[in-house]
Amino acid sequence: MLDQRTSSHSDPETAIRNRARSVAKGGVAALETEGQIQSLTLSEGLVLGLLKQGVRTWFAIFGHGSTDLGEVLRVYCDEDVVKVINCRNEVEMAHAATAHAWVYGETPAVVTSIGPGGLQAMAGSLAAASNGVGVYHIYGDETTRGEGYNMQQVPKTEQGIFGRMTALMGQSYVLHTPGALRECMRRGTACVHHPYRAGPFFILLPINTQPEMTEVNLSTLPDRLQAPPTAPAEETPYRQAAELLSSHKKVVIKAGGGCRGHADAVRRLAQHLGAPVVLSPGSTGVLADADPLNMHVGGSKGSISGNFAMEEAELAIFIGSRAVCQADCSGTGWPAAQAVININGDLDDAAHYANTQMLTGDITAVIDKLLPLTVPCDSEAFVAACADKKKEWQAFKAERFAHPPVKDRVWQRPVLTQPAAIHTVATFADSIGAVKFFDAGDVQANGFQVVEDDAPGQTFTETGASYMGFATSALLGAAGARDPRYGIAFTGDGSFMMNPQVLIDAVEHGVCGMIALFDNRRMAAITGLQLAQYGREFRTNDGVAVDYVALAGAVSGVQALHGGYSTEELRAALAEAHAHKGLSLVHIPVYGSHDDFAGMGAYGSWNVGNWVDDVQRDWLHQNV
């Protein structure tokens, strides 16, 4: 019979609770005044270490690999020091934590058990890594004594396999020794709070080291990293950039996702130079939609105006951009460019293009130093030509948005086209100040062409990893937030079924938000690629009808509505769904065939499929 051993320490919960109460009254600093060096378990030391960095929200799925950490969190949750959001799927909670950090700027932690749970959460961490969002991922790990295989560990006679896997995914630390907590926390904050390339930090907690007693010097546990803004100290690189600007008439700024926190500086630079700005899918709102210099998105999908500006540019100013394949047409988006000015805090990204003048550092700090040395570009004719293309794009959008319902072979009746439906929901979202979350796939691809944002933070589109199921899971990111915002998840039927657990978890944690489910009964983005490249579609749809209203309505607390077949019916359904104090779902049947009027179009190159030879040949002849 198994000997269920108990702790040899007298009443450990009382000691934990007393410390939690001290922290509740005055933070970790209050506990520090009671004793700089505290004797406690590694699990509690980790909770305190993360609290010093402002980590108060935990998204959790507990298992046998995290019971001791869970017990500490139970007590700290009882004392209102932390919030613990229990979830039903590790991928879902990884996305929710990413959204929590991305939208609210508050670093959360994800905690799960050893084995499959950690692997699933690790897969979900791709979204955080690809979008530069800092999140702590804490997984149970195999015991350190080697007494035999631990259930759910990788069944291989090697040491530290999970730690090696997480180290490949990002930065990682195995707490094999409780005394290493300080170093773990130092490396963690340097990763998740990195000013230019934040990302997930993985902490592996061996099952047997979690309850191990250790002495922790609270004063040496690091606070949240606050790196001061930096910029090149010498004037030479700014003057060289200014010379490049004065020698070119067709200058275009490409604002990447790194510009989201520097919109004011980017706007000042664009207005001073008189340079058109092309956005990435993740930087909508950096310039107001109606700003004459806003050429909208450019890239493999792009827009008429955005891609025109890219193709005509003689000098490109990249700001906070990773040069993702779809954002720069797999390197072929700048055929006329002769030189580049690259403003980026990350050295690798700043040096990506050939013939580049790098200005490495904080975007605002760099622009503030560059502006006094520059004069407006002599580019009136080019700016006028870009403005004409923007008018063409606006007219094209208006035509697509106003397209009447079309009879669809699946629905056997007229239904809205996807651009018309997405525009209707996006306009409604903006009218109520909702956050728009876009899922991967055709909804996302059309979505970043459709949205008309005036500031960063109106739209979050996970284009980095293009993770299906992100948008619906992101609604759960409002859980634990001090001032939660109403969110609307724009998702397709395929993406929704990747992570439908939010139907339950959002109700459990009192999230108010809406799922706008655009249903065309297919993986439309991939179907479109297949048709464009090979003229045939293959295995990207099915014949299984799903009543999503009935499915969602079966969950107590969810209001499920049909979105109707016209924009008027859809607006009425959206208003009714928003009035519900909780989670709602609006099912929107949309036209599924690939006629020209059914989408927003594609305007650039992409190095995939049978386009590869042409794209790589074009890339070889680029000058940047």
In a shared domain, residues 57 and 177: yes
pLDDT at res. 6: 38
Alpha carbon distance 480, 489 (integer Å): 18
pTM assigned to the model:
0.95
Alpha carbon distance 553, 170 (integer Å): 39
Ramachandran area for residue 276 (φ above 0: left; ψ -120 to 50: alpha; else beta): beta
In a shared domain, residues 245 and 131: no
pLDDT below 50 — which residues of the chain?
1-9
Task: Report which of 58, 104, 103, 76 is spatially closest to residue 203, judged by C-alpha positions.
Answer: 58
Please check whether residue 6 lies inside any domain of the structure. no
pLDDT at res. 374: 95
> Exposure string (b/e) for 461-485, b if CB count within 10 Å is 16 or more?
bbbbbbbbbbbbbbbbbbbbbeebe
Those residues whose C-beta lies under 8 Å from the C-beta of residue 184, and which sit 6 or more positions away, are: 46, 49, 173, 175, 203
Alpha carbon distance 149, 154 (integer Å): 9
In a shared domain, residues 300 and 380: yes
pLDDT at res. 522: 79
If DSSP codes are grouped into helix, strand and coil, which group holds residue 211? coil
pLDDT at res. 10: 58
In a shared domain, residues 373 and 427: no
In a shared domain, residues 181 and 208: yes
In a shared domain, residues 362 and 489: no
| Structure-token pair, residue 508 | 């459990």
DSSP 590: B
Tokens 């991305």 identify what position? 102
Please check whether residue 621 lies inside any domain of the structure. no
| Structure-token pair, residue 128 | 């955080």
Please check whether residue 78 lies inside any domain of the structure. yes
Side-chain half-sphere of 296: how many Cα atoms within 13 Å?
Answer: 27
> Exposure string (b/e) for 577-605, b if CB count within 10 Å is 16 or more?
bbebeebbbbbbbbbbbbeeebbbebbbb
SS3 labels along 369-432: HHHHHCCCCCCHHHHHHHHHHHHHHHHHHHHHHCCCCEEECCCCEEEECHHHHHHHHHHHHHHC
Please check whether residue 398 lies inside any domain of the structure. no
Task: Note down the domain range covering 103.
Answer: 14-220
Cβ–Cβ < 8 Å for 45, 214:
yes
Cβ–Cβ < 8 Å for 4, 63:
no
Cβ–Cβ < 8 Å for 308, 386:
yes
Please spell the DSSP secondary structure of 489-507, one letter per residue: EEEEHHHHHH-TTHHHHHH
Please check whether residue 397 lies inside any domain of the structure. no
Please check whether residue 296 lies inside any domain of the structure. yes
What is the CB neighbour count within 10 angstroms for residue 519?
Answer: 22
Last residue of a domain, one of 170, 193, 220: 220
In a shared domain, residues 189 and 307: no
Tokens 């990293």 identify what position? 225
Please check whether residue 7 lies inside any domain of the structure. no
Cβ–Cβ < 8 Å for 112, 58:
no
DSSP 229: P
In a shared domain, residues 33 and 57: yes
In a shared domain, residues 212 and 246: no
pLDDT at res. 590: 96
In a shared domain, residues 240 and 368: yes
What are 519-563's pLDDT values in tens digits? Answer: 998 787 788 888 888 888 888 888 889 999 999 999 999 999 999
> Exposure string (b/e) for 244-254, b if CB count within 10 Å is 16 or more?
bbeebebbbbb
Domain count, the chain: 3
Last residue of a domain, one of 358, 392, 426: 392
Cβ–Cβ < 8 Å for 346, 249:
no
Can you give the CATH number for the domain in which 549 is found? 3.40.50.970
Cβ–Cβ < 8 Å for 260, 283:
yes
Alpha carbon distance 274, 460 (integer Å): 28
Q: In angstroms, how far is CA 88 from the centroid of its own chain?
A: 20
* Radius of gyration of the CA atoms of the chain, in A: 26
Task: Report which of 363, 403, 374, 356 is spatially closest to residue 257, judged by C-alpha positions.
Answer: 363
Please check whether residue 307 lies inside any domain of the structure. yes
Please spell the DSSP secondary structure of 164-193, one letter per residue: HHHHHHSEEEE-SSGGGHHHHHHHHHHHHT
Can you give the CATH number for the domain in which 384 is found? 3.40.50.1220
